[in-house]
């Protein structure tokens, strides 16, 4: 018969468990003391410094590459470049180019360079990038691709694969010489919308007959099924070009695509050259500068 326990004494199993728990706590304290050197004070708190953002919203110099739009072609005089009203690097205070807004009027003239060439296609961009890189710019603007679609016939348009190869080569060329330069890429304008806007002007239609962007603007009043299909083919190719610009740019941490802002912009007659009703006028150049400045200085890239 077991010996009776005094009143208030816990059962034997409970006592054993309580003793084991006490022993475990004691050993834990001893081991912790040995591992930390006894009662040594904790080390200094490590402050985490956030990484600097890759995209600089206030670049101090701008170089531009591209085609006739960036050269301000037909914006000031017929069949002539007018780089002073360029959306990217112009110095005209009526346009207030991207460089003008970022740097101020005096610096815009000293710290911006326009290497665009009227008539250029994407295949010409690597050479332009090489020249731009020599300036060591903090930002390079790109607007190219319209001439790849503006051919005599849709069959002569630059293939999407060749367009991609040339753009990738241009980016690599820049990175080899100016690895930290930022790149702002403007989308190719909607050529079909430009046709729709300008076709109502008799003078514009006469100029178009000289062969300006015949793949889209040729036979401007022809609404036959064949003509509509031709324009749709050009439109689809421009959409594909913009897809390439977005995809290639997305692979480069220092590249920002405009999200299709230029393509989506609805140019009016006021924003088109009164000499050819196709290229941007001085007012149109100012609108392109607005789009660029918003995107370059935004906290996040366009969706």
The answer to whether residue 229 sits within a structural domain is no
Q: Which residue range(s) make up the domain with 70?
A: 62-150+159-190+241-267+279-297
Assess whether pLDDT exceeds 70 at residue 113: yes
| pLDDT of the residue at 299 | 95
The answer to whether residue 97 sits within a structural domain is yes
The answer to whether residue 221 sits within a structural domain is no
| pLDDT of the residue at 31 | 34
Assess whether pLDDT exceeds 90 at residue 249: yes
| pLDDT of the residue at 24 | 41
* Total number of domains in the chain: 1
The answer to whether residue 99 sits within a structural domain is yes
Q: Sorting pLDDT into bands at 50, 70 and 90, what band is 45?
A: low
| pLDDT of the residue at 105 | 87
Rounded mean pLDDT of 104-131?
96
Rounded mean pLDDT of 227-247?
98
Assess whether pLDDT exceeds 60 at residue 35: no
SS3 of 5-29: the string is CCCCCCCHHHHHHHHHHHHHHHHHH
Distance CA 101, CA 299 (A): 17
Q: Sorting pLDDT into bands at 50, 70 and 90, what band is 182?
A: very high
The answer to whether residue 57 sits within a structural domain is no
Mean pLDDT (the chain) is 88
The residue that leads in pLDDT, 41 or 296, is 296
Rounded mean pLDDT of 125-129?
98
Rounded mean pLDDT of 80-102?
97
DSSP 190-244: -HHHHHHHHTT-HHHHHHHTTTTTHHHHTTTT--SHHHHHHHHHHHHHHHHHHHH
Residue with tokens 């080569």: 169
| pLDDT of the residue at 95 | 97
The answer to whether residue 54 sits within a structural domain is no
Assess whether pLDDT exceeds 50 at residue 34: no
| pLDDT of the residue at 2 | 43
Rounded mean pLDDT of 143-170?
98
Rounded mean pLDDT of 127-151?
98
| pLDDT of the residue at 97 | 98
Rounded mean pLDDT of 181-192?
98
CATH of the domain at 142: 3.40.50.1110
Assess whether pLDDT exceeds 80 at residue 10: no
Rounded mean pLDDT of 287-302?
97
| pLDDT of the residue at 227 | 98
Q: Sorting pLDDT into bands at 50, 70 and 90, what band is 42?
A: low
Number of helices and strands (H, E) in the chain? 12, 5
Answer for the pair 95, 105: CB distance below 8 angstroms, yes or no. no
Judging by DSSP bridges, how do beta strands 255-257 and 182-185 pair with one another?
parallel
Rounded mean pLDDT of 264-268?
96
The answer to whether residue 70 sits within a structural domain is yes
Assess whether pLDDT exceeds 60 at residue 51: no
């Amino acid at each position: 018969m077991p010996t009776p326990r005094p009143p208030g004494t816990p059962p034997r199993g409970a006592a054993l468990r309580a003793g084991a728990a006490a022993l475990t706590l004691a050993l834990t304290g001893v081991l912790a003391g040995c591992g930390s050197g006894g009662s040594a004070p904790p080390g200094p708190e490590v402050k985490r410094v956030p990484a600097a953002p890759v995209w600089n919203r206030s670049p101090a110099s701008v170089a531009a590459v591209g085609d006739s739009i960036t050269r301000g072609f037909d914006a000031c005089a017929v069949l002539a470049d007018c780089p002073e009203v360029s959306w990217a690097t112009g110095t005209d205070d009526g346009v207030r180019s991207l460089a003008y807004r970022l740097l101020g009027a005096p610096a815009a003239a000293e710290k911006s360079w326009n290497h665009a060439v009227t008539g250029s296609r994407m295949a010409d961009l690597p050479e332009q990038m090489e020249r731009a890189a020599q300036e060591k710019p903090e930002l390079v603007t790109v607007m190219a691709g319209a001439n790849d679609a503006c051919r005599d016939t849709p069959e002569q348009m630059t293939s999407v694969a060749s367009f991609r190869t040339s753009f990738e080569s241009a980016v690599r060329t820049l990175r080899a010489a100016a690895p930290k330069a930022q790149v702002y890429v403007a989308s190719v304008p909607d050529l079909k919308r430009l046709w729709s806007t300008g076709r109502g002007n008799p003078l514009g239609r006469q100029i178009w007959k000289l062969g300006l962007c015949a793949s889209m603007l040729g036979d401007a009043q022809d609404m036959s099924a064949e003509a509509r299909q031709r324009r749709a083919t050009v439109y689809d190719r421009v959409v594909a070009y913009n897809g390439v610009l977005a995809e290639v740019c997305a692979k480069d941490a220092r590249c920002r695509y405009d999200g299709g802002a230029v393509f989506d912009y609805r140019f009016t007659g006021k924003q088109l050259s009164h000499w050819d009703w196709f290229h941007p006028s001085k007012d149109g150049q100012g609108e392109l500068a607005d789009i660029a400045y918003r995107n370059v200085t935004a906290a996040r890239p366009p969706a």
